[in-house]
Amino acid sequence: MGLFRRLILGCLLALSTMLGAGCATDGVNAANPRVPVPASTAQLRPGDSLTIALQGVPDPSVNPVQIDEQGLISLPFIGTLTAAGASTAELSQRVRETYVAKKIYTTVDVSVTVTERYVYVGGEVQRPGRIIWSPDLTVAKAIQSAGGFSLYARETAVNLVRENNAYPIDVKLAQTNPSQDPPLMPGDSLQVPRSPF
């Protein structure tokens, strides 16, 4: 009787697991969470690549820089400046004022342009790392850009991290229903966990 009881319990457990999995991905009532869009996508973030051009001076220059993890950039003669959190216009003004305050130049025209922004994909994908952001980049597209899922990926529980908050995303659902595929913002991070099975 003990063996029979264990077989019945095992069958019931397997059946409930299959039914639960079917309900979780049936696509009819399933929905990914709404991920809030930052108030300002124009703000510069760590990892952004910039070009800062100095004009109207005896030695005009074009300086490619990248904002480091502390939110800083480094420019000739003036050293480091805080760039993260500012818009390109605010950073232009900050650079201009610093060159004038340090008496490097009396007047200088500064233009700041963003050349590349990134999102980061890690965990169980073929090629983890950073991906160049574009306005049409979504969670599913970023996973594809990283070479797709690895064999052990848990595709239904990808973590989207934005501004220190994590949101679980079912990428299988996003692939079958584009309205459930959240757009990504510069600086977002995707972490693909390993499946327990």
Q: What is the CATH number of the domain that holds 146?
A: 3.10.560.10
Q: What is the pLDDT of residues 62-114, one digit of tens each?
A: 999 999 989 999 999 999 999 999 999 999 999 999 999 999 999 999 999 99
Residue that terminates a domain, selected from 65, 85, 116:
116
Domain range for 111 is 49-116
Identify whether residues 124 and 190 lie together within a single domain. yes
Identify whether residues 98 and 133 lie together within a single domain. no
- CA-to-CA distance for 126 and 138, rounded, in angstroms? 18
Q: How many Cβ atoms from other residues are within 10 Å of residue 112's Cβ? A: 23
Q: Look at residue 33 in the predicted model and tell me its pLDDT.
A: 87
Q: What is the CATH number of the domain that holds 93?
A: 3.30.1950.10
- The answer to the question of residue 42 being in a domain is no
Q: Look at residue 30 in the predicted model and tell me its pLDDT.
A: 76
Q: Give SS3 for 97.
A: helix
Identify whether residues 104 and 178 lie together within a single domain. no
Q: Look at residue 47 in the predicted model and tell me its pLDDT.
A: 85
Domains: count for the chain: 2
Q: What is the pLDDT of residues 163-173, one digit of tens each?
A: 889 999 999 99
Identify whether residues 79 and 154 lie together within a single domain. no
Identify whether residues 62 and 133 lie together within a single domain. no
**Which residues are within 8 A (CB) of 25 and not within 5 positions of it... i.e. 6 or more apart?**
156, 170, 172, 173
Identify whether residues 54 and 128 lie together within a single domain. no
Identify whether residues 126 and 139 lie together within a single domain. yes
- The answer to the question of residue 18 being in a domain is no
For residue 10, pLDDT over 90 is answered with no
**Taking CA 75 as the corner, what is the angle to CA 73 and CA 76, rounded to the nearest 5 degrees?**
160
Residue that terminates a domain, selected from 66, 100, 116:
116
Identify whether residues 123 and 186 lie together within a single domain. yes
- The answer to the question of residue 8 being in a domain is no
Residue that terminates a domain, selected from 99, 116, 133:
116
Q: pTM of the full predicted structure?
A: 0.67
Q: What is the pLDDT of residues 29-69, one digit of tens each?
A: 578 988 887 766 678 988 899 999 999 999 899 999 999 98
- The answer to the question of residue 37 being in a domain is no
